[in-house]
């Protein structure tokens, strides 16, 4: 007993215990975890690609080519990445229907599981941005005030100050952003659909994207909160200016007329 406690107090005892514990954890991990999981992931992935390929052949190949190489009816999908597919199919834009200036949002016809499979197949054609994980677009740790600044600098010229949307040239338009899924906002920035420029992480960091999403959530989320009072449609300086002119200036004129009328009356009497 005495011997043991003496050894316990040996200066190297703590180190030995630590090393043993580390070796145990490492050994257990090697035995149980990675090999199986990696293999399972691999098979799940190739299954998804297989299924996606079938869906693709039926719904997309007619425009985007049998191997995603593109055709006269649709651009090449090699290297657009899973995020582009998740955005385009998840917002109902794809499969496109009638030709026009711009492919509109419409009812989504694939389930999320099928979209994931389509995305896996397209991602297998060439590397591109992946579908973002949930923590990338959650409002946690985001700064919506900074997001507002970033939005006014990068997005407002097309989408308007609070994301109401607006017309562009040649029959195209930047859609309103109210009610758009945060994941799709993130993906739109990653992939730059149609006339919209892409904002890769080198232009807008992950944190910046998160801040912008938090800003859009703040201005479009809860309609009952409007810190500036009347929202005036959220259209920015034009409607605010008009309001200022009509009501502000109108009130000034009314007051001036009233004062003048009173002084005139006072002089007469």
Residues that bind ligand HEC (CB under 6 A): 59-60, 62-64, 73-75, 77, 80, 84-85, 88-89, 91, 93-96, 102-103, 105, 118, 154-155, 157-159, 168, 172, 174-175, 177, 180, 184-185, 188-189, 191, 193-197, 199, 212
CB 64 within 8 A of CB 77: yes
Least CB distance to ligand HEC at residue 143 (A): 15
Q: Which is nearer to ligand HEC, 192 or 239 (CB)?
A: 192
Residue 193 or 234: which CB sits closer to ligand HEC? 193
Contact at 8 Å (CB) between 144 and 225?
no
Q: Least distance from C-beta 206 to ligand HEC, angstroms? A: 13
C-beta of 249: minimal distance to ligand HEC in Å?
34
Least distance CB 111 / ligand HEC (angstroms)? 12
Q: How far apart are CA 149 and CA 71, in angstroms?
A: 40
Rounded to whole angstroms, the Cα distance separating 68 from 60 reads: 9
How many Cβ atoms are within 10 Å of 217's Cβ, its own excluded? 17
Answer yes or no: are the C-beta atoms of 110 and 55 closer than 8 Å: yes
Token pair, residue 158, equals 């097309």
Nearer to ligand HEC, 33 or 113 (CB): 113
| Residue for token pair 């008009």 | 242
Query: Min. distance of Cβ 174 from ligand HEC in angstroms?
Result: 4
Tell me the C-alpha distance between 188 and 216, whole Å: 14
* CB of 1 or CB of 179, closer to ligand HEC: 179
Nearer to ligand HEC by C-beta: 172 or 240? Answer: 172
Question: In Å, how far from its chain's centre is CA 174?
Answer: 15
């Amino acid at each position: 007993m005495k011997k043991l406690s003496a050894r316990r107090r040996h200066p190297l005892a703590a180190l030995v215990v630590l090393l043993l514990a580390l070796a145990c954890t490492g050994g257990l991990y090697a035995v149980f975890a990675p090999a199986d999981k990696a293999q399972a992931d691999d098979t799940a992935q190739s299954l998804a690609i297989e299924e996606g390929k079938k869906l693709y052949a039926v719904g997309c190949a007619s425009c985007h080519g049998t191997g995603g190489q593109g055709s006269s009816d649709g651009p090449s999908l090699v290297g657009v990445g899973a995020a582009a597919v998740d955005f385009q199919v998840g917002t109902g834009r794809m499969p496109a229907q009638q030709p026009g200036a711009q492919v509109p949002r419409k009812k989504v016809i694939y389930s999320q599981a099928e979209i994931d499979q389509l995305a896996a197949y397209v991602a297998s054609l060439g590397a591109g941005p992946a579908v973002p994980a949930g923590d990338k677009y959650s409002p946690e740790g985001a700064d919506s005030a900074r997001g507002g600044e970033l939005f006014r600098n990068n997005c407002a010229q097309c989408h308007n100050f609070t994301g109401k949307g607006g017309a562009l040239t040649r029959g195209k338009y930047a859609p309103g952003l109210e009610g758009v899924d945060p994941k799709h906002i993130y993906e739109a920035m990653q992939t730059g659909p149609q006339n919209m420029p892409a904002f890769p992480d080198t232009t807008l960091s992950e944190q910046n994207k998160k801040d912008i999403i938090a800003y859009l959530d703040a201005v479009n989320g809860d309609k009952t909160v409007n810190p500036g009072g009347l929202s005036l449609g959220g259209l920015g300086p034009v409607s605010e200016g008009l309001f200022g002119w009509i009501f502000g200036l109108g009130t000034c004129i009314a007051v001036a007329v009233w004062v003048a009328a009173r002084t005139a009356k006072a002089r007469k009497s």
